[in-house]
Structure 1
Amino acid sequence: MIRAVLLDILGVIYDADTPIAGAVAAVERLRRAGLPLRFVSNTTRTPREAMIEQLAALGIEVTDAELLTPARAAVEWLRRHECRPHLLVHPDLEAEFSGLEGGNGCAVVVGDAGDAFDYAGLNRAFRELVAGADFVALATNRTFKDADGLFSLDAGAFVAALEFASRRPPVVLGKPSPDFFLSALADVNCPAADAVMVGDDAESDVAGALRAGLGAALLVRTGKYRPGDETRFDPPPTAIVHDLAAAADWILNRAAA
């Protein structure tokens, strides 16, 4: 039986600033059923406060504890390892790392930097890695669906370039890291086997969740989904559903009474 639900945001609840049809009502139905919800996003361009405000504008109230982002995980990792960050992230995200300048070591932190992904920035990060800095990737997604409706390069390609050049594998803190999924369940008193993930990325959301031990992972045909995604990665989705509304139907039919 399902006792907790993890939801991706971009591509599942909204695209750009537009809610996906039926998504807001689906979230409300899951809440009314008493299921703990956690919103787990790999978005690394938007600060968490802005994400919470955007969801609220759509009619979905999300508490700070209910939203998990790679940036929050990175801040905790940097504090735990007493590292100051060398940031290669989107300028809008830099404020989330304030107050961490005094660490004993250094860690290169890479997210989706957008236009900040230029040669000079990548080379500075590379030189820090060669000099011995730790290597932290907020996420390794290949692509994302941009505001114009087309696919754009995500952080994964740039993380791979730095890994290739430096011969240093990164610590990945967002999806598909098993720790990221499990940390979402840490305060809901739910074993991974009783939780379900809903996402539009068959690799990071779905296969990642199943490898982390979640009992089910649903792939929606919205957002970045493309026909055939369900067969491209292993393990495959537990089910493929049209959208979050259909996912809610699937979940509620299997939820604990």
Structure 2
Amino acid sequence: MSSAGRGDAGAATAAAPRRIHAALIDLNGTLHVGDAATPGAQAALQRLRAAGVQARFVTNTTKDTIGNLLALVQGLGFDIQQHEVFSSLTATRRLLEEQGLRPFLLLHPKALPDFEGIPTENPDAVVVGLAKEAFSYDNMNRAFRILLHDPDAPLIAIHKGRIFKEPDGLSLGPGPFVLALEHATGRTAQVVGKPEASFFRLALDDLGCAPRDAVMVGDDARDDVGGAQAAGLRGILVQTGKYQPGDEASAGVQPTAMVPDFAAAVEWILEQNSAAAAAAAETGRQAQA
């Protein structure tokens, strides 16, 4: 673990040694980068589960279906099941169904199967994810006109990530394209995924865990760590994936801990829980004295 990570961990433990019952874990950039796992991540996840910490895997990825994402991480040796994955695509589909919207979907073709059955004729909403080749002038202009001609048509951003990590380097995320539509229409997009507080709380709902008893582990200082902290969770920033030195400062975020990788994040969580257990035992001894 880096000296910065050890320092942060010590400060957090001294201030409030509180047990962590659940961990929300980012996928790409944290457990893996592209088709390669980060060092020791599979064994670290097993250690986390063995220690009784519940895990949910949260992702803003909009360039693929949950099924394909699951196949990728399982192929890398991670024991992760479909019910444990909470995606911004899942949350977006739920929103469209609840509001009865007919979206124009600016999405990567591989993500479209997750929206099968949602009516898209005569769109009355625009949904923007990571569209890559679909971010053509014609498609952006169509989205602009839908929003321009219908003042009630919502602009829905699956997320507003600025960049993401690919095997050959950093690439533009959907955020700049969402901002272009906001600028052209004067609208403010409704964001569904990270860093929205509701996203993290929904992910914790089926675990029965309060935000103060959970931690988020991710490689994005703003969307993963800052968003989680705003929702009441602790946030661990890993220095893999899209992380660049100084990201936390430019995002105005003070991570609960900053560590080299996911394996080090698990070590921090286990140390935190050990300190919490020791503090509870000492409190018990003092009460009996």
TM-score range, shorter chain: over 0.9
> 2:207 aligns to what?
188
* Cα deviation, residue 81, structure 1: 0.4
CA deviations on 1:171-228 (whole Å, 9 max, x unpaired) are 10110011110001001111000100000000100101101111x1000111111111
**Which structure 2 segments of 5+ residues have no match?**
1-18, 278-289
Which of 91, 94, 103 is the matching residue for 1:73?
91
CA distance in 2, matches of 1:117, 1:103: 20
* Cα deviation, residue 103, structure 1: 9.1
Amino acid in structure 2 at the alignment position of 1:200? D
Alignment of 1:31-42 (within 5 A): 31-42=49-60
* Cα deviation, residue 64, structure 1: 2.2
Which of 140, 145, 148 is the matching residue for 2:160?
140
* Cα deviation, residue 26, structure 1: 1.0
Report the secondary structure of 1:254's partner residue.
helix
Alignment of 1:1-257 (within 5 A): 1-101=19-119, 106-132=124-150, 133-148=153-168, 150-214=169-233, 216-255=234-273
Q: Is the contact made by 1:136 and 1:173 (CA closer than 8 Å) also made in structure 2? A: yes
* Cα deviation, residue 106, structure 1: 2.2
Q: Is the contact made by 1:39 and 1:67 (CA closer than 8 Å) also made in structure 2? A: yes
CA distance in 1, matches of 2:97, 2:252: 34
Amino acid in structure 1 at the alignment position of 2:223? S
- Scaled by the length of structure 1, the TM-score of the pair is 0.95
Q: Is the contact made by 1:230 and 1:240 (CA closer than 8 Å) also made in structure 2? A: no
Amino acid in structure 2 at the alignment position of 1:173? V
Q: Is the contact made by 1:82 and 1:103 (CA closer than 8 Å) also made in structure 2? A: no
Higher-helix-fraction structure: 2
CA deviations on 1:13-37 (whole Å, 9 max, x unpaired) are 1111011111111111111112110
Q: Is the contact made by 2:237 and 2:259 (CA closer than 8 Å) also made in structure 1? A: yes
* Cα deviation, residue 102, structure 1: 7.1
CA deviations on 1:153-187 (whole Å, 9 max, x unpaired) are 00000000001101111110110011110001001
CA distance in 1, matches of 2:84, 2:217: 15
* Cα deviation, residue 98, structure 1: 1.2
Aligned residues: 255
CA distance in 2, matches of 1:27, 1:17: 17
Percent identity, please: 45
Amino acid in structure 2 at the alignment position of 1:180? F
Report the secondary structure of 2:159's partner residue.
coil
Runs of 4+ in structure 1 displaced over 4 angstroms? 102-105
CA deviations on 1:6-56 (whole Å, 9 max, x unpaired) are 000111111110111111111111111121101011111011000111111
Amino acid in structure 1 at the alignment position of 2:165? K
Amino acid in structure 2 at the alignment position of 1:123? N
CA distance in 2, matches of 1:38, 1:103: 35
Q: Is the contact made by 1:143 and 1:151 (CA closer than 8 Å) also made in structure 2? A: yes
Indicate the larger mover: 124-133 or 4-13.
124-133
CA distance in 2, matches of 1:17, 1:161: 31
Bigger Rg, structure 1 or 2: 2
**Which structure 1 segments of 5+ residues have no match?**
none
CA distance in 2, matches of 1:187, 1:125: 35
Higher RCO, 1 or 2 (CA under 8 Å, sep at least 6)? 2
CA deviations on 1:59-92 (whole Å, 9 max, x unpaired) are 2132222111111111000010011221001111
